[in-house]
Structure 1
Amino acid sequence: MKIKVLKGDITTVQVDAIVNAANSSLLGGSGVDGAIHKAGGSTILEACRQIRNKQGKCNVGEAVITTGGNLPAKKVIHTVGPVYQKGKNNEKEKELLTNCYENSILLAKENDLQSIAFPCISTGIYRFPKQVAAEVAISAIKNNPILNEVVFVCFDDENYEIYKELLNNE
């Protein structure tokens, strides 16, 4: 399995699937969620509505898959990251974040996808500490080497430097 880190816009990455750091409504939001819905077009939102009508909201740590719409990626895997509560439930929050990564790659594998790109899940408005989130993400991926390629796409310099350092030190 090849693991890479890029700095940039996840909506432009050429992989089989990109992961959306979604909210539980699956109906779009701000940050990477809003960017994916905007760039991908209305077919992604419609697919999310169909999922909601069938199963209701998406719980923290779970993942669902939709079309990639107008994106270069064939599919979008939507996962709901945990909101960081200032360490009040640190181990549970790490477990839920791990579930986001594990469930996303399992869903990719089940759909015969070989490459996936992840944003920095929960490090924006959900306030998960960036260093801890990166450690959880890399560990979850390395413990489940079931895809050919995993790309961590960092929107900001701080996350990019953290991922670069963690991946170069292993």
Structure 2
Amino acid sequence: MTTPRPGTANHAGPSAGLPLDTYRAAVALDQPFRAAAPPAPADRLLGHIHEALGLLSGDPAVSRLGLSGDTVRKLREADFATTRGALRALLTVRGPGPLPDGAAAELDALLGGERLARPLVDAGRLPSIAETFPGTSYPAADRTALWQGDITTLAADAIVNAANNALLGCFVPRHACIDNAIHNAAGPRLRDDCHLIMGLQNGPEPTGTAKITRGYLLPARYVLHTVGPIVDGPPDARHERALASAYRACLDVAAEVEPVRTVAFCAISTGVFGYPKAPAARIALRTVADWLEAHPGRLDRVVFTVFSDDDRDVYRAALASGAVRTRQP
């Protein structure tokens, strides 16, 4: 999960957000993304890192890292891990806005090359829950999958990002949240799109709603951004409704985009947002099953993506217990 930005309150009840039609054209949602440069081969990645650092050495984000332009340029003499970490940190703290001339091509070559270097997983070919858990009573078992891995390597039509209500991504370098991972892999255009949407909305993203953007350098064509509830202590009925709303909102928005046939969820609101994992998994499973029953044939596959063994185990326990058959909050 993402760390909430300072000054951005998060409420445990869904409310109306900006409809897709009001920002769809602004973020060119229906136009396929065309990178400014082809993916670089593995032996050329370091060169693109060096070029990108040089071009970004005068960016205001440099001072936010406590560095100078000269220091950033000298980083190009360091080893691969150091220079790549510096570039990642710089892009993490950099606000939305145009890149210096030539930087987009360098970043597209780098991020595209890194994407090709990672083993990609086809979401549509993952075994279903029905195949993985024979005899399960889960009603959507034949249309869903449980997969453990890095969601930025998942070739789904859309993946879900658990965001905070600023919706601009994580600004903390090396923070181990999904928001940071997704923005790092997609590239800075993702933050630009979110900034544009938030400007049109003119206010924070309500809890339990969702927005959609293109996925840029991710293997997923689209990213669904949603804000789940923040929980301090045991969740109550308001938290349950808000979490269910976040899952439904993602599916509702995805259904408005015709090419989307596969959607991959992360574990929304778990982690630093504090929602206990076991009840969150049950809500996720129930909500998705209810939505698929109400929209037969609209999606081919919904994937519950988990990263840790603990996350995987709570989903397995929920599927084994039959608790997901109870009525949705």
Q: TM-score range by the shorter chain?
A: over 0.9
- Aligned counterpart for 2:255 among listed residues 91, 102, 109: 109
Match of 1:53 in 2: 199
Q: How far, CA to CA, are the matches of 2:196 and 2:162 in structure 1? A: 18
Q: How far, CA to CA, are the matches of 1:116 and 1:165 in structure 2? A: 22
- Asked whether the 8 Å contact 1:42–1:69 carries over to 2, the reply is no
Aligned residue for 1:83, secondary structure, equals coil
The CA RMSD over aligned residues, in Å, is 1.3
Pairing 1:27–2:190 present: no
Counterpart of 1:13, as a letter, is L
Counterpart of 2:244, as a letter, is T
For residue 169 of structure 1, report the CA deviation from its aligned partner. 4.9
Q: How far, CA to CA, are the matches of 1:111 and 1:169 in structure 2? A: 34
Pairing 1:127–2:127 present: no
The percent of aligned pairs where both chains have the same amino acid is 37
Counterpart of 2:157, as a letter, is D
Counterpart of 1:51, as a letter, is I
**Using CA pairs below 8 Å that are at least 6 residues apart, which structure has the higher relative contact order?**
1
Match of 2:33 in 1: none
- Aligned counterpart for 1:84 among listed residues 202, 215, 231: 231
For residue 162 of structure 1, report the CA deviation from its aligned partner. 1.3
For residue 165 of structure 1, report the CA deviation from its aligned partner. 3.0
Q: How far, CA to CA, are the matches of 1:40 and 1:27 in structure 2? A: 13
For 1:50-106, what per-residue CA distance to the aligned partner results, in whole angstroms no more than 9, with x for missing partners?
00110032111010001101001110000001001213x610001000000000001
For residue 155 of structure 1, report the CA deviation from its aligned partner. 1.1
Superposed structure 1 runs of 4+ greater than 2 Å apart: 164-170
User: Structure 2 length as normaliser, TM-score?
Assistant: 0.50
Q: How far, CA to CA, are the matches of 1:100 and 1:81 in structure 2? A: 6
Unaligned 5+ runs, structure 1: none
Pairing 1:43–2:189 present: yes
- Asked whether the 8 Å contact 2:278–2:318 carries over to 1, the reply is no
- Asked whether the 8 Å contact 1:81–1:100 carries over to 2, the reply is yes
- Asked whether the 8 Å contact 1:18–1:116 carries over to 2, the reply is yes
Q: How far, CA to CA, are the matches of 2:154 and 2:143 in structure 1? A: 15
Count of matched residue pairs:
169
Decide which moves more: 23-32 or 58-67. Answer: 23-32
Match of 1:4 in 2: 145
Q: How far, CA to CA, are the matches of 1:38 and 1:168 in structure 2? A: 36
Counterpart of 1:2, as a letter, is R
Q: How far, CA to CA, are the matches of 1:114 and 1:85 in structure 2? A: 35
- Aligned counterpart for 2:304 among listed residues 146, 149, 152: 152
Q: How far, CA to CA, are the matches of 1:4 and 1:168 in structure 2? A: 14
Aligned residue for 1:125, secondary structure, equals helix
Match of 2:137 in 1: none
Decide which moves more: 22-31 or 94-103. Answer: 22-31
Aligned residue for 2:224, secondary structure, equals strand
Counterpart of 1:91, as a letter, is A
Counterpart of 1:164, as a letter, is R
Pairing 1:167–2:319 present: yes
For 1:15-49, what per-residue CA distance to the aligned partner results, in whole angstroms no more than 9, with x for missing partners?
10000000000111251111100111111111101
- Aligned counterpart for 1:16 among listed residues 157, 168, 175: 157
- Asked whether the 8 Å contact 1:17–1:74 carries over to 2, the reply is yes
Unaligned 5+ runs, structure 2: 1-141, 323-329
User: Structure 1 length as normaliser, TM-score?
Assistant: 0.95
